[in-house]
Amino acid sequence: MNKIEKVTKLVIPVAGYGTRSLPFTKALPKVMLPLVDKPGIQHIVEEAVKSGIKEVVFVTSTNQGAIEDHFDYYYELEDKLRKAGKLDLLEQIRKVSDLAHFTYTRQKEQLGNAHAVWQTEPIVGTAPFCVQWGDDVVIAKKGEKSFLAQMIEIYEATDADAVVATIDTDDEGAAKYAIVETVPEGDQYRATSIIEKPGPDKTESRLASVSGFLFKPVIFKYIKALDPKKGSGGEYVLADALKAMIKDGKKVYTSHIKGRRIDIGNKLLYMQGAVEVAMEHDEIGKDFKKYLKSLKL
């Protein structure tokens, strides 16, 4: 087996309009929705850094400047905190900017999730990389690896061309997510098919592709070969590119997500996730639990 190249880059597409989260997203990206005192996108980056990620590539569009500002230095605020002696807060905001090396590229047209990933080819180059959707937060349970680390572990064990993060779903989910069919291969599960939103009648599998992927750069070849007119929803869709990879015999494996997944674009799931994060928060968790117990529901 050839030497396995380390995965140190994460692509985060954040170029969507965020219509599920209006009116908040009229002025701010939905990835900036807070989970207590941190925006969801910061949770994603922090989990990625724990997985060995060194460089984060954001795929942005118009009205995404708040993301760049959040991960940049804010000299006026830092100076104010320093003069006020609030060095703990100064350290907190500096850490955010120093988490990783941040790069930004524009998706000038929203032509599908594969099109968003395609925009990063000049930055990613020939290196393997992870992809995580900016509105899909996954927080590892204490003592467990992050879901990106889980995918990287499978990639390193198999020299996979792609790894797909998955969850179990139901009939409704079969019409909502890309669905993966697999066969066991040693300690792993190898994908034999992936279909974009097939519905419950077109597949027996209920294994849904969510949150993200790990790719070798060969993925760009398959994205470029897509015909969006024939693709799912008339767009460049990653499930279609992966389907072609599988057909060509490329090694595609699945990684079942362990951890708390929070879809911050779904209002109910976002609020549930915010409550769960608040219950474990070092500063307010204890008092917040007392408050919840006091509610007469």
Rounded (to 5) percent helix, strand, coil in the chain: 40, 25, 40
Per-residue confidence in pLDDT tens, the chain, 297 aa: 568 899 999 999 998 777 888 888 888 899 999 999 999 999 999 999 999 999 999 999 888 889 999 999 999 999 999 999 999 999 999 999 999 999 999 998 889 999 999 999 999 999 999 999 999 999 998 888 999 999 999 999 999 999 999 999 999 999 999 999 999 999 999 999 999 999 999 999 999 999 999 999 999 999 999 988 887 778 999 999 999 999 999 999 999 998 899 999 899 999 999 999 999 999 999 999 999 999 988
- 296, two tokens: 């007469």
Distance linking the first and last C-alpha atoms of the chain: 59
Under 8 Å between Cβ of 190 and 251: yes
Q: Give the chain's domains with CATH numbers.
A: 9-294 (3.90.550.10)
pLDDT score at 229: 83
Kindly state the greatest CA–CA separation across the chain.
64
Question: How far from 293 is each of 73, 222, 273, CA to CA, in Å?
Answer: 40, 52, 17
Question: How far from 288 is each of 37, 275, 276, 294, CA to CA, in Å?
Answer: 14, 9, 10, 10
pLDDT score at 273: 95
Q: How many Å apart are CA 217 and CA 194, to the nearest integer?
A: 19
pLDDT score at 246: 97
pLDDT score at 2: 66
Instruction: Show the beta-strand stretches assigned E in 19-161.
Output: 34-35, 38-39, 55-60, 101-106, 129-132, 136-139
pLDDT score at 144: 87
pTM of the shown model: 0.93
pLDDT in tens, 79-136: 999 999 999 999 999 999 999 999 999 998 889 999 999 999 999 999 999 999 999 9
Total length of the chain: 297
